[in-house]
Chains A and B, each alone.
Chain A
Amino acid sequence: MDFTLSEEQQMLQDTVVRLVRDSYSFEQREQFYRSEPGFSWAFWQQLGELGLCSVPIAEAHGGFGGSGVDNLLIMTELGRNLCLEPFLQSQIHGAGLLQQLGNAQQCEALLPRVASGELQLAVALEESQSHYLLHDVQTRAVVVDGGWKLSGHKVVVVGGHSAGLILLSARTAGEPLDEQGISLFLLDPASVGVSRRAYPNIDGPHACDVVLDEVFIAADSLLGEPGRALPALRYQRGRAIAAQCAEAVGGMQEAFRLTLDYLKTRQQFGAPIGKFQVLQHRMADMRGELELASSMAILAACVADEVDSEERSRRLAAAKFVVVRAARFIAEQAIQLHGGIGMTWEYNLAHHAKRLVMLSHQLGDDDHHLQAYAELLKSA
């Protein structure tokens, strides 16, 4: 057991810290949010040029071959500054699925372009009825001459509006809730029959719904064996959860810091409000939650790339559960301790609070993961 960072990891951390500090002030973020496509392509390019886009991708495919801990370091800093770019969706979740399911040809053709930042990926798994269940897939893919025809509807695909390719789950066999019969496809969003409706999410990043109306895609757009994608979907969601936990910890640390500063400066009743014990204890509670969440983000990062096992699944579900609960607590209390100012658009704390609460709506909420954990509970 070891909780220290290697020299290389410290350098990586320094690089990201410097980058976001210099290029991602809160005012800049607001501009990025208002611009097309809702984030900064220039910043994305910087992530590519500094090699950060390549960190999660295997060396064999032009990447750096980073570990879960490397991903954690990047995501924590992106979370601290509320970065809007779909790094998690593209470089960790999307690239991870491509790497796990893609054949040599697909990987060679695409992953180096992802690693450089040139090609952005998005992942479309959720449907209107699915409520975080990866096997609840109603989008259909049927075999046609030379390929597949896709019909269906994917919702809230974060980064789907800007991605060059969308990885999309569709049912190639079986009934809506069957675990078998789910396949993963590479979809060029420019294909005939694809319509996308883009919008900002309440916590900042932009997303889109994807409607598929008899979309023809070539046979080589299938990733992996037909009908057998579910284990990979679950495994890679675990990696994405680990990254998301790290992002949340960065956000929680910043929300905590802002609130602590505020308690030391805001005067009421002739004293800084941080002198009042009821607020001190609230901050102590928040500090405790932050400690547990940080531990679980580290745990998640350490197990994210392990071979699939029940223990890995349990730990990742546990991490998401603890982080979601802590994030909501810290977000709500941070607003409460700030009072009215914490509810204004012009103050960055409010945006942290939104991000921290809404992360439970991606990749499964606390109920989902508690249930998952309970199902895997060891009896003794």
Chain B
Amino acid sequence: MDINYTPAELEFRDEVRAFVSVALPDDIAAKVRLGKHLSKDDHQRWQRILAKRGWYAANWPVEHGGTGWSVVQKHIFEEECAAFGAPRLISFGVNMVAPVIIKFGTQTQKDHYLPRILSGEDWWCQGYSEPGAGSDLASLKTRAVRDGEHYIVNGQKTWTTLGQHANMIFCLVRTDPDAQQQRGISFLLIDMASPGITVRPIITLDGDHEVNEVFFDNVRVPVANLVGEENQGWTCAKYLLTHERTGQAGIAQSKAALAQLKQVAARELRNGRPLLDDPLFRAQVAEVEIQLLAIEVSTLRILAAAQAGGVPGAESSILKIKGSEIRQAISHLLRKALGVHALPFVEEELDFDHAGELRHADYSAAPAGQYFNLRKLSIYGGSNEIQKNIIAKMILEL
């Protein structure tokens, strides 16, 4: 056992650090640090830069253009990227649908979709949740009825993150309404430009347009877009969710957020000295840092075990719970650190080019909204309560 990085791992860290410090555009880093809005182009620019270096699809097998990195290397990579203010990769394509296509897709599907994900030509979104199917995902009602070489899709998806940018959506649809809940579901790839698709924004409590509703009205989808077998889509869904969950610990983002918290608390004053030197506040910062360390070591342990034994197991549910809780705790402290400055809600302040007339620190515009936005962490990807059900069933066998 050795908790320290090996010389090779340290060398890798230096390599990543050297690359990211130069390659990451300053304007993108500044936006991320200050919590300003990122455009579609910002995300795509960064993706292209990574793709050119061969580092975009870190989780893919080498033969498909992946890196072949170890768990520790991936961790180092994510940490370095986040530390420099790189945007978090939008995972729907590269880290969600791609692993499913690689595992369950046909050769034609692999040949068609994987290069387009790598090049950024396709922007994917996720069609899982429905108005009546949240935590109880298997109760989804969107129907796909076979009609010759097509499926006719009718229904509604919701909470579709960044669906406004997407040209492709992967959907769970019901192909056999008579089968037991999880049996009659299929995994379909759908072109967002298909006639009959409507995307409508949902504005969240922070005023942001991040999620959408997607309506399907007699949308024709080629049967060739089915991944895996008809009515076996739940297998794909579960496989994808395990991958999603593993990434959801978000250690790198939490570390970057903690660094931001310390910087802000060092600049905000209370009683004539930095808030970070206030014993009560300092102890709270210390506590989240300690918790984060514990979660980081746990993440590495669990992922290392998963790498040795294949697919990450239900332990990833523990990481999802702990990782989301700590990220929320840090955002809570950052909001608190700002005192009254957390209150003003001037949406233009989140535009990078906006010349603010408020004489507040540039870092004070985003955190309160972010705090509310991040309540999503314990809700999506299987709510934390669902994760506890999974732990109880899969690990504890209760």
| A binding-site residues for B, Cβ under 8 Å | 1-5, 9, 69, 260, 263-264, 274-275, 277, 280-281, 283-285, 287-288, 291-296, 298-299, 301-303, 315, 317-318, 321-322, 370-371, 373-374, 377-380
Q: Please judge, given known A-B contacts A283-B392, A322-B291, A380-B263, whether A374 and B279 are in contact too, CB under 8 Å.
A: yes
| Cα distance A293–B293 in the bound complex, in angstroms | 11
Neighbour of B388 across the interface among A285, A315, A322, A370, CB < 8 A = A285
- Residues of chain A within 8 A (CB-CB) of B322 are 288, 291-292
Flag whether B5 is at the interface (Cβ < 8 A).
yes
A281 touches B294 (CB 8 A): no
With contacts A275-B398, A277-B389, A373-B289 known, what are 7 further pairs, Cβ within 8 A? A2-B1, A3-B305, A283-B396, A284-B389, A298-B297, A379-B276, A380-B266
Q: Please judge, given known A-B contacts A280-B388, A280-B392, whether A288 and B318 are in contact too, CB under 8 Å.
A: yes
| B binding-site residues for A, Cβ under 8 Å | 1-6, 9, 72, 259, 262-263, 266, 276, 279, 282-283, 285-287, 289-291, 293-295, 297-298, 300-302, 304-305, 315, 318, 321-322, 385, 387-389, 391-392, 395-398
- Residues of chain B within 8 A (CB-CB) of A317 are 290
| Cα distance A284–B321 in the bound complex, in angstroms | 10
Which residue of B has the minimal Cβ distance to A282? B388
- Residues of chain B within 8 A (CB-CB) of A263 are 398
A380 touches B262 (CB 8 A): yes
| Cα distance A9–B259 in the bound complex, in angstroms | 38
B4 touches A280 (CB 8 A): no
Q: Please judge, given known A-B contacts A322-B291, A370-B283, whether A1 and B388 are in contact too, CB under 8 Å.
A: no
B298 touches A302 (CB 8 A): no
The residue in A280, A295, A299, A303 that gathers the most chain B C-beta atoms within 10 A of its C-beta is A295
| Cα distance A5–B298 in the bound complex, in angstroms | 16
A315 touches B1 (CB 8 A): no
Which residue of B has the minimal Cβ distance to A303? B3
Q: Please judge, given known A-B contacts A280-B392, A284-B391, A380-B262, whether A1 and B298 are in contact too, CB under 8 Å.
A: no
Q: How far is the CB of B18 from chain A (nearest CB, A)?
A: 20
| Cα distance A293–B44 in the bound complex, in angstroms | 40
| Cα distance A302–B3 in the bound complex, in angstroms | 6
| Cα distance A181–B9 in the bound complex, in angstroms | 43
- Residues of chain A within 8 A (CB-CB) of B302 are 291
Q: Please judge, given known A-B contacts A303-B3, A379-B262, whether A298 and B392 are in contact too, CB under 8 Å.
A: no
The residue in A275, A288, A371 that gathers the most chain B C-beta atoms within 10 A of its C-beta is A288
Q: How far is the CB of A379 from chain B (nearest CB, A)?
A: 6
B298 touches A280 (CB 8 A): no
Tell me whether chain A's interface is mostly helix, strand or loop, or mixed. helix
A3 touches B300 (CB 8 A): yes
Which residue of B has the minimal Cβ distance to A263? B398
B392 touches A288 (CB 8 A): no
- Residues of chain B within 8 A (CB-CB) of A370 are 283, 286-287, 290
Which residue of B has the minimal Cβ distance to A372? B286
A299 touches B398 (CB 8 A): no
Neighbour of B300 across the interface among A1, A292, A303, CB < 8 A = A1
Q: How far is the CB of B184 from chain A (nearest CB, A)?
A: 27
Neighbour of A3 across the interface among B285, B290, B294, B304, CB < 8 A = B304
- Residues of chain B within 8 A (CB-CB) of A378 are 262
- Residues of chain A within 8 A (CB-CB) of B301 are 3, 294-295, 298
| Cα distance A379–B263 in the bound complex, in angstroms | 8
| Cα distance A93–B307 in the bound complex, in angstroms | 37
Closest 7 CB pairs between A and B?
A: A280-B392, A302-B3, A284-B388, A295-B297, A374-B286, A284-B391, A292-B294
Which residue of B has the minimal Cβ distance to A369? B290
A280 touches B398 (CB 8 A): yes
Q: Please judge, given known A-B contacts A281-B392, A318-B293, whether A2 and B2 are in contact too, CB under 8 Å.
A: yes
| Cα distance A3–B309 in the bound complex, in angstroms | 14
B293 touches A315 (CB 8 A): yes
Q: How far is the CB of A59 from chain B (nearest CB, A)?
A: 20
Q: How far is the CB of A289 from chain B (nearest CB, A)?
A: 9
| Cα distance A280–B3 in the bound complex, in angstroms | 32
Could you show 18 A-B contacts with beta carbons less than 8 Å apart? A1-B2, A1-B72, A2-B1, A3-B1, A3-B305, A274-B398, A277-B389, A283-B396, A284-B391, A287-B318, A287-B396, A295-B294, A295-B301, A296-B293, A299-B293, A317-B290, A378-B262, A380-B262
A379 touches B266 (CB 8 A): yes
Q: How far is the CB of A326 from chain B (nearest CB, A)?
A: 9
Q: Please judge, given known A-B contacts A281-B385, A291-B318, A299-B3, whether A377 and B282 are in contact too, CB under 8 Å.
A: yes
Neighbour of B285 across the interface among A285, A299, A377, CB < 8 A = A377
A377 touches B286 (CB 8 A): yes
- Residues of chain B within 8 A (CB-CB) of A293 are 294
- Residues of chain B within 8 A (CB-CB) of A371 are 283
Q: How far is the CB of B279 from chain A (nearest CB, A)?
A: 7
| Cα distance A69–B304 in the bound complex, in angstroms | 18
| Cα distance A309–B88 in the bound complex, in angstroms | 33
Q: How far is the CB of B396 from chain A (nearest CB, A)?
A: 6
Q: How far is the CB of B380 from chain A (nearest CB, A)?
A: 19
Q: How far is the CB of A151 from chain B (nearest CB, A)?
A: 36
Neighbour of B389 across the interface among A264, A280, A296, A299, CB < 8 A = A280
Which residue of A has the minimal Cβ distance to B3? A302
Q: Please judge, given known A-B contacts A3-B305, A285-B388, A374-B286, whether A296 and B262 are in contact too, CB under 8 Å.
A: no
- Residues of chain A within 8 A (CB-CB) of B286 are 370, 373-374, 377
- Residues of chain A within 8 A (CB-CB) of B263 are 380
- Residues of chain B within 8 A (CB-CB) of A322 are 290-291, 294
B282 touches A264 (CB 8 A): no
| Cα distance A377–B288 in the bound complex, in angstroms | 11
B283 touches A374 (CB 8 A): yes
Neighbour of B398 across the interface among A264, A285, A294, A298, CB < 8 A = A264
B4 touches A283 (CB 8 A): no
| Cα distance A373–B284 in the bound complex, in angstroms | 11
- Residues of chain B within 8 A (CB-CB) of A285 are 388
- Residues of chain A within 8 A (CB-CB) of B385 are 281
- Residues of chain B within 8 A (CB-CB) of A292 are 291, 294-295, 298, 322
Q: How far is the CB of A309 from chain B (nearest CB, A)?
A: 12
Which residue of A has the minimal Cβ distance to B300? A1
| Cα distance A374–B284 in the bound complex, in angstroms | 9
Q: Please judge, given known A-B contacts A298-B301, A380-B266, whether A280 and B396 are in contact too, CB under 8 Å.
A: yes
Q: How far is the CB of B6 from chain A (nearest CB, A)?
A: 7
- Residues of chain B within 8 A (CB-CB) of A1 are 2-6, 9, 72, 300, 304
- Residues of chain B within 8 A (CB-CB) of A380 are 259, 262-263, 266
Which residue of B has the minimal Cβ distance to A288? B318
- Residues of chain A within 8 A (CB-CB) of B398 are 260, 263-264, 274-275, 280, 283
Which residue of B has the minimal Cβ distance to A275? B398
The residue in B291, B385, B396 that gathers the most chain A C-beta atoms within 10 A of its C-beta is B396
| Cα distance A112–B72 in the bound complex, in angstroms | 41
